[in-house]
């Protein structure tokens, strides 16, 4: 089945994305159990040093979840044996505020969405995912950890850092493979500051279709 058709088929099997109801969110692991979960905000191993999620679940709007499954199907066809490893998915609005308060007034604030802005973080809309690659159950090296606050994680500097020896060819090749899977295979969009972050929608298109959510992760069936 073509990837676009697969995404549409999966989307119609899940609840429709009609606005801000908890039923708009689906558990991605139920659509594709092979996806590797490493949701750091469900542990204290994250930049805040605190556990922010009560459970380790990847929830997304139904069409976005379908896009993610399509990205994995692309990897299956182009790079068998490589799986997507999920670091973060839907993020409740109150958690976004906790993150913002942890970095406000510091240089790290450049990398965290301000919840008082119209968009803030696309994660709170259930329309963004942080993802990397894994093989044999082990995370691959893409040059920096998830949530690395610095230019080494930025897409626009990869060629320079490769030339300077700060990134290896293998690390850059893996980043490119991830982008191809997510953009070409899943229809996601990148952002310049984080190699691991992908949006299903951005800007006005996002605001017109979805609203920010503050549904707890453990409140979704």
Q: Which sequence positions are flagged as catalytic?
A: 194
Chain centroid to Cα 62, Å, comes to 14
Cross-strand partners of 26:
60
Task: Quote the tokens at residue 185.
Answer: 């295979």
Q: Rounded to the nearest 5°, which phi and psi values hold at 31?
A: -80, -40
Residue 162 near residue 152, CB atoms below 8 Å? no
How far, in whole angstroms, is CA 187 from its chain's centroid?
A: 13
């Amino acid at each position: 089945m073509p990837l676009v058709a697969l995404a549409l088929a999966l989307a119609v099997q899940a609840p429709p994305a009609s606005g801000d109801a908890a039923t708009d969110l689906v558990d991605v692991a139920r659509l594709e159990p092979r996806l590797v979960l490493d949701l750091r905000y469900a542990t204290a191993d994250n930049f805040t040093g605190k556990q922010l999620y009560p459970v380790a679940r990847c929830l997304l709007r139904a069409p976005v979840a379908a896009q993610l499954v399509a990205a994995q199907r692309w990897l299956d066809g182009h790079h068998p044996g490589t799986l997507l490893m999920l670091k973060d998915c839907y993020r409740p609005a109150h958690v976004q505020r906790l993150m913002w308060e942890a970095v406000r007034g510091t240089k790290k604030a450049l990398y965290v969405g301000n919840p008082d802005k119209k968009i803030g973080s696309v994660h709170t809309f259930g329309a963004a995912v942080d993802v990397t690659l894994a093989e044999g159950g082990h995370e691959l090296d893409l040059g920096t950890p998830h949530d690395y606050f610095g230019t080494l994680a930025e897409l626009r500097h990869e060629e320079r850092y490769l030339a300077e020896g700060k990134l290896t060819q293998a690390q850059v090749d893996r980043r490119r493979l991830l982008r191809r899977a997510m953009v070409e295979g899943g229809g996601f969009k990148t952002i310049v500051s984080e190699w691991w972050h992908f949006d299903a929608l951005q800007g006005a298109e996002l605001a017109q279709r979805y609203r920010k959510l503050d549904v707890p992760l453990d409140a979704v069936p």
